[in-house]
Amino acid sequence: MILRLAIASLLARALTVGMTVLAIALSVALFLGVEKVRTGAKASFANTISGTDLIVGARSGSVQLLLYSVFRIGNATNNITWDSYQDIAAQPQVDWIVPISLGDSHRQFRVMGTSPEFFARYKYRQGRSLAMTDGVVMADLFDAVIGADVATTLGYSVGDPIVVAHGLASFTEHKDQPFRISGILEKTGTPVDRTVIVSLEAIEAIHVDWQSGAQIPGQSTPVDVIRQMDLEPKAVTAALIGVKSPLQTFALQRAINEYPEEPLLAVLPGVALQELWAIVGVAETALLGVSAMVVVTALIGMMATIFSSLNERRREMAIFRAMGARPLIIVGLLVLEAMLTAAIGAVLGLSLLYLALFIAQPIVDSAFGLWLPIEAPSLRKLWVLVGVIAAGAIVSFVPALRAYRISLADGMLVRT
């Protein structure tokens, strides 16, 4: 009975109520959106590296090393010498080791030099392995494997020639040594999608005729000669390591961190990520706080509209009272109306979020490499919605109490 009354009353004031609903919906969508991006970013980072026990690079910071070597974000770390790399590879605790060499690019995409073992050892999203959609792992010196985004953005397919350039935004291109695409990787949702992978030797090969970043004029070594050359790399950027047993992780980490010949750093990827979250946590909380305040603002807006509606509805209330409704019924009616408004707003907000997700998902993925999965709302989100509805009820109590106090006579008196 009272519910029907509340619905009818809301419908009668469809425009004002609609505006309030819209304000609440937008604020809820913003709040949930921020939460989504926050958890999505975390999951995306956490899913990028899995199964690697240690990342080794030049001594810098653990976060910097992790970001640069795995996510290709931030400042480059120093390279480590090939001698040190081999020393580490020979440590008894090392089960497998995969080198990573960064610094060259193809169009806007990074080129990474590594060993073929990378394809077997690199794991993402709780232990999933890389797989090819087309072609095979590089077999020849000038073979390249490209990530899914590289293939779609540049329209490449297996067999196409590509040119690898110095630096990221490059003026000079290594035109003399065209690479051939030997394989295209499946979409992973990790930075691998935006990477051109070649062998370590290939990285050396493209720098044969180059000295301090520029080609020596009039000199160009034919490809055949390069193939004959000793292309052992002199340096790598970082290395991914798997240990034989977790029990040996710390011993190996300590041995690397105290390696006397070269300042090296070994980080546990999970711990480095946690450090990163600790750093961005403050900004995250601030963002969440701001969006929560927007929800509060929308709810206070609703309170204001209820207050102003009380004036219009003086007659209505008085008639209810005259017909025998107790003041408590009036309070109940107002609170119920507010809860309905908040509930519709919350549900609409959730739908808005999903709509936005559907539209923004591919854009966010290609622009920021952030994959936001579209999935059923989590329990936490549902609690947020319940919270909004409850807050709506609480907020409406203030005007409802006022309506409770206004006497029957107040509405009946004809005022000029």
Binding site for another protein (CB under 8 A): 50, 53, 87, 90-92, 245-251, 254-255, 258, 260-261, 263, 268-271, 274-275
Q: State the Cα–Cα distance between residues 98 and 288, nearest whole angstrom.
A: 39
Map tokens 């961005």 to a residue: 280
Task: State the minimum distance, in angstroms, from the CB of residue 278 to another protein.
Answer: 9
Q: State the Cα–Cα distance between residues 9 and 403, nearest whole angstrom.
A: 16
CB 392 within 8 A of CB 357: no
Q: State the Cα–Cα distance between residues 124 and 186, nearest whole angstrom.
A: 12
Closest CA to 381 of 361, 360, 411, 353: 353
Amino acid 9 reads S
115: which residues sit within 8 A by CB, 6+ positions away? Answer: 98, 99, 199, 200
Helix or strand (DSSP H, E) at 242: strand 238-243
Q: What separation in angstroms does the CA of 181 have from each of 102, 151, 162, 246?
A: 18, 10, 7, 37
What is the number of H-type helices and E-type strands within the chain? 14, 17
Amino acid 353 reads L
